[in-house]
Structure 1
Amino acid sequence: MPYLFTCPHCHTRTEVENEFSGQSGECVVCGHEITLPNFAPEAQSSTPGSQSTGGKRRKRSAAWVVAAVVVLMIAGAATIAIVRVGGTTATRLREGRTRIASIRNLETIAQALNAYAADHGTYPAPSLYSPAGKPTLSWRVSILPYLGEEELYDRFDLSSTWDSSHNRRIANEGMPSIYRHPDSESWSTEAVYHLVTGAGTLFPASQALGPKDAVDGARQTLLLVESPVSTIWSEPVDVDFAMSGGTINAAQGNDLGGLTDGGVCVVTVDGRGHFLPETTAPMTVSALITPQGGEPLPDDVLD
Structure 2
Amino acid sequence: MDAFAIVGHLVMLALVVAIIAPLFLPRRGNPAAWRDLWYWLAMPVPPLLVLILLRGQVRNEALIFGYGLILFTSFVALLGAIFTIIRVLRHLDGTRPGVVLLWATCLTMLVAILMPGVPQAREAARRAQCRYNLKYIGIALYNYHDEYGSLPPAILATNDTEVSWRVLILPYLDQSALYQRYDQGTPWNAGVNQPVSRTPVPGYLCPSIPHAMKPSADQYAPTDYAALVGDETAFPAGRTVTFNEITDGTSHTLLIVEAAQMGIRWAEPKDIDVPFASEKVRGQRKGGGPLNPLTSSEHTGGVHALLADGSVRFISENIDPEILRGMTTRAGGEPAAEF
TM-score (norm 2): 0.60
Spell out the pairing of 1:91-130 with structure 2 (5 A cutoff).
91-130=119-158
Q: 1:265 aligns with which of 299, 304, 309?
A: 304
In structure 2, the partner of 1:169 is 195
Paired residue type of 1:268: L
CA deviations on 1:161-197 (whole Å, 9 max, x unpaired) are 1111321211213x32111111343233101111000
Hey, what does 1:239 align to over in structure 2?
272
Describe how 1:177-256 pairs up with structure 2 within 5 A.
177-183=202-208, 184-188=211-215, 189-228=221-260, 229-249=262-282, 250-253=289-292, 255-256=294-295
Gaps in structure 1 of 5+ consecutive residues: 1-78
**TM-superposed deviation, 1:83:** 4.7
Q: Give the paired residue count.
A: 218
Q: Secondary structure at the match of 1:195?
A: strand
1:251, distance to aligned residue in structure 2 (A): 4.7
Conserved in 1, the CA contact under 8 Å of 2:326 and 2:332?
Answer: yes
What is the rounded CA distance, in whole Å, between the counterparts of 1:205 and 1:254 in structure 2?
20
Superposition TM-score, scaled by structure 1 size: 0.66
Structure 1 distance, partners of 2:112, 2:248, is 48
Match of 2:171 among 134, 145, 148: 145
What is the alpha-carbon root mean square deviation over aligned residues? 2.2
Give the drift of 1:143.
Answer: 0.7
Q: Tell me the alpha carbon deviations over residues 116-173 of structure 1, each in whole angstroms, 9 at most, x when there is no partner.
A: 01111111111122223x42x2111101111122221111111111111321211213
Cα drift, residue 210 of structure 1: 2.1
> Deviations for 1:174-227, whole angstroms, at most 9, x for unmatched residues?
x32111111343233101111000121011114210222211111111111001
Work out which of the two has the higher radius of gyration on C-alpha atoms and give 1 or 2: 2
Conserved? CA contact 2:281–2:293, under 8 Å: no
Matched, 1:297 2:336: yes
Equivalent-residue separation in structure 2 for 1:231 and 1:159 (angstroms): 21
For 2:179, the aligned partner's letter is Y
One-letter code of the match for 1:220? H
Which AA in structure 1 matches 2:298? L
The residue that corresponds to 2:317 in the other structure is 278
Per-residue CA distance 1:281-303 (angstroms, 9 max, x = gap): 1111111111111212333x1xx
Partners of 1:94 and 1:110 lie apart in 2 by 25
* Counterpart amino acid of residue 171 in structure 2: P
Structure 2 SS opposite 1:113: helix
The whole-number CA distance in structure 2 between the counterparts of 1:242 and 1:95 is: 32
1:159–1:275 Cα change, 3 Å: same
Does the Cα contact within 8 Å between 1:245 and 1:286 map onto a contact in 2? Answer: no
- Asked if 1 retains the 8 angstrom alpha-carbon contact of 2:228 and 2:255, the reply is yes
| SS of aligned partner of 2:295 | coil
CA contact (8 A) 1:240 1:254 kept: no
Contact 1:130 1:160 in 2 (8 A): no
Instruction: Return the alpha-carbon distance in structure 2 between the equivalents of residues 259 and 239 of structure 1.
Output: 17
Counterpart secondary structure, 1:255: strand
Partner-residue secondary structure (3-state), 2:296: coil
Instruction: Say whether the 8 Å CA contact 1:114–1:211 is kept in structure 2.
Output: no
Unaligned stretches of 5+ residues in structure 2 = 1-107, 216-220, 283-288
* Partner SS, residue 294 of structure 2: coil
